[in-house]
Amino acid sequence: MDVVPQVPYVDSVDTRYLESLLGYNARRAALSIIEVFLQRMAVYDLRPVDFSVMSLITHNPGITSKQLSNSLNILAPNLVAMVNGLEKKGMISRRPHPHDGRAMGLHLTDSGIEIMRRAEKTASKLEIESTPNLSTSERKTLLRLLQKVYFKP
């Protein structure tokens, strides 16, 4: 007969239940990719959130803080210091919005354009480096399924 010890202890941790949960795995996977992102983007002095903001300005010249706030799920007050920082580093400039006197349009400077040209190249290479265990087809499937999770109808 098996003997149950009076006070049990653990030799090797059983994580199988947590590993059956999507939320747990999604968070672990996201952190794992972001870890590589942080390392590779450090040369540009860009955190993931800075890269997201800069990338949206790159592909949407004249975008406003309000539009960034909506697109990236970042609260407006938390964007202020971020945008100020990017402006102070000479990567973006603010110009009055042509049709709305309350808003400011955000634009890349020449320096910002050059940095983002290289940073987006790094980000694309990073796709493979951060998921070396995935095949090209698995990577494509994963992207599609992740979008199905958070895209709201």
Q: Which of residues 4-63 bind a second copy (CB under 8 A)?
A: 5-10, 13-34, 37, 48, 52, 55-56, 58-63
Burial of 42 (0-12, 13-18, 19+ CB in 10 A): exposed
- Here the tokens at position 59 are 């592909």
Residue 40: partners with Cβ closer than 8 Å, 6 or more residues away: 122, 123, 125, 126, 129
Count, residues near a second copy per rule CB under 8 A: 72
Minimum CB distance to a second copy, residue 51 (Å): 9
Minimum CB distance to DNA, residue 28 (Å): 11
Nearest to 59 by CA among 112, 22, 101: 112
Which residues are at the interface with DNA (CB under 7 A)?
A: 47, 49, 64-67, 69, 74-80, 83, 97, 100-104
DSSP label of 105: E
Q: Between residues 80 and 146, which has the closer beta carbon with respect to DNA?
A: 80
Q: Between residues 78 and 111, which has the closer beta carbon with respect to DNA?
A: 78
Q: Does 129 bind a second copy (CB under 8 A)?
A: no
